[in-house]
Every structure is written in structure tokens, then in C-alpha cells.
Chain A
Amino acid sequence: DIVMTQSPDSLAVSLGERATINCKSSQSVLYRSNNKNYLAWYQQKPGQPPKLLIYWASTRESGVPDRFSGSGSGTDFTLTISSLQAEDVAVYYCQQYYSTLPITFGQGTRLEIK
């Protein structure tokens, strides 16, 4: 199994400041034949299902504010919120889809307002 490890487990950031969440995979999720990283990011607010933010490690889903960005390649990835807004309080998950046996998520990072 590809193990996904996020850091930190929780994070408190002031409004308007930058928030950075890291995700590390136990093996590369870069598929060399198409040079794509099979890595997605989700946001989950309390009482709601997850929402797709980023796929292919850095492609923003339609309708997602441009303050959200994804970067990284191979085994190390980052989700950055450039200027934290109150509505960004949530738990964030990374997910690898390089291997379907099984598909795996990170443990989640809880983002709060400082």
C-alpha cells in the first residue's frame, strides 16, 4: 500500500496569512509515461462531504478560489492557501490515485484560525 502522511496534524493561522500543508507518499506517485502526479487534495468542513480542491497535484478544480494552490512531485507535495479566509477552516486531506490497490488518503490536517 502507498502510505500518505500529512504534516502537521493541525495548524492555526491568522486571517490573511499563508497556510501550508504537506503530504508525503511512501512511494512515488509520478507516472513517468505521462509525467503526471496522481495526487489530489480535498477540503472537508464539519457536517459536509469532502470537496475536491486540486488534482494532478497542481490543477485547481473549477470554482475553487485561486488562493488555493498545489505543488510538488514524486513523493512530496504541498497545499498552500495564500491568504487564509474564515471560510477555509476545515480538515484537508491528500489522496493518491496512482494505485487502486488500494487508493489511500492522508490522515488529515485540521486548519483553524489563530
Chain B
Amino acid sequence: EVQLVESGGGLVQPGGSLRLSCAASGFTFSSDVMNWVRQAPGKGLEWVSGISVSGGSTYYADSVKGRFTISRDSPENTLYLQMNSLRAEDTAVYYCAKGVGGIYYFDLWGRGTLVTVSS
């Protein structure tokens, strides 16, 4: 089955860290760009970060630049998001989203993992 499954979310204090994972299956993970998109409670979609097919190029929203790091492990078919210096405004459901080849529209989404930043 073609799917993306996120994990690693939870409750963390401001200033803390979390590492999200996204396990991919049913498609050739190494052939597509991958992304993280988040949605704060009751709000719209916000693209967070993307990574090229090779992993050699990474892109970040200004809101997370310098705090978050995206990476991919193609042999393990897994996408990661290391989140440091977390803030209350990072509270959201984080979705893993697959691009199409090298193109950044998203034809497959995971169900998301909730990150709550609160003391």
C-alpha cells in the first residue's frame, strides 16, 4: 500500500526539541522530493520544509530556518524533521507530503502527528 506514516509528535516544553519521522512505503522513496507541512489548530496549511531527491538541497520557511533540519534516509525510506528551540507557535499537526519527481506539488500525504509546545 502506498502510504506515509508520521511519528514522533508529542508534548514538549518551550525551548525543547523533538524529532519527527515519516516512514514511506509502496513507492520508490528515492525518486521524489519530500516535504513537511504543518497546520496549527483551526488554521490553514503552512509549508515548513522540503528536501530534494538526492538530499543535497534543503529548503525552509523563514519561521523555522535555523531551528529545524530536514533530512532523508533513502535506504530506510524515512524522512526526518529535527525540531530545536521549539516555540508555542510551532504547535500544529505536522504532515509529511510527497512531491512528484522533482516537482513540489504533493500527491501523497500522511495522516499527521501532533506537536504541542507548552509548559
Contact = CB atoms under 8 A, between A and B. Distances in A.
Interface of A: 38, 40, 42, 44, 48-52, 55, 61, 91, 93, 95, 97, 100-108
B62 interface: yes
B50 A103 contact: yes
Nearest to B63: A102
Main secondary structure of the interface of A (DSSP, over half): loop
A102 B107 contact: no
Contact of B105 (A49, A52, A101): A52
Contacts of B104: 97, 100, 103
Given A40-B105, A51-B109, A103 B47 contact: yes
B62 A49 contact: no
29 contacts: A40-B105, A40-B106, A42-B45, A44-B45, A49-B109, A49-B110, A49-B111, A49-B112, A50-B37, A50-B45, A51-B109, A52-B105, A52-B106, A91-B44, A93-B44, A93-B45, A97-B105, A100-B50, A101-B59, A102-B47, A102-B60, A102-B62, A103-B59, A103-B104, A105-B44, A105-B45, A105-B46, A105-B47, A108-B44
Contacts, number: 58
Interface of B: 35, 37, 44-47, 50, 59-62, 95, 100, 103-107, 109-112
Nearest to B48: A102
Nearest to B96: A49
A101 B45 CA distance: 16
Nearest to A103: B47
B64 to A, nearest CB: 10
What are the 3 closest A-B residue pairs judged by CB atoms, nearest first? A49-B109, A40-B105, A97-B104
Given A38-B105, A49-B111, 14 more contacts: A40-B105, A50-B95, A52-B105, A52-B106, A91-B44, A93-B44, A97-B103, A100-B50, A101-B59, A102-B47, A102-B60, A103-B35, A103-B50, A108-B45
